[in-house]
């Protein structure tokens, strides 16, 4: 079996995490309540269509993979959960700079 390059591994991980983060958002919009630190993410996700959620999940996955490198398997469960929240917030919730450019 041929060895994957770093770029190939990143693309594989991005695809994997896109699916995971998309499913996290779908679950959040169906949930009545979520952990308080996920409340803003849930609120933002509820305003999206499924195609928008898929695009956001892909952006969040890129964020996740970039910050989880070089070895995502070395992250603790708590670090993975926090990074998922950060990635979704990054992709879903506009920053003050984003608001100024609109």
Does any domain span residue 98? no
Does any domain span residue 102? no
What's the domain count of the chain? Answer: 1
Does any domain span residue 68? yes
pLDDT at 94: 74
At residue 102, does pLDDT exceed 50? no
Does any domain span residue 72? yes
Condensed to tens digits (0 to 9), the pLDDT of residues 14-30 reads 999 999 999 999 999 99
Does any domain span residue 61? yes
Report residue 77 CA to chain centroid gap. 15
Distances (CA, A) of 95 to 11, 59, 68, 88: 26, 15, 22, 13
Does any domain span residue 99? no
Does any domain span residue 100? no
Condensed to tens digits (0 to 9), the pLDDT of residues 48-86 reads 999 999 999 999 999 999 988 777 788 899 998 899 999
18: containing domain:
7-93
């Amino acid at each position: 079996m041929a060895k994957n390059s770093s770029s190939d591994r990143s693309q594989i991980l991005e695809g994997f995490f896109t699916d995971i983060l998309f499913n996290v958002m779908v679950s959040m919009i169906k949930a009545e309540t979520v952990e308080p630190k996920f409340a803003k993410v849930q609120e933002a996700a509820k305003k999206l269509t499924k195609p928008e959620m898929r695009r956001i999940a892909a952006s969040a996955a890129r964020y996740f993979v970039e910050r989880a490198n070089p070895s995502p398997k070395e992250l603790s469960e708590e670090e993975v959960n926090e990074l998922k929240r950060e990635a979704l917030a990054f992709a879903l919730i506009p920053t003050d700079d984003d608001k100024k450019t609109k």
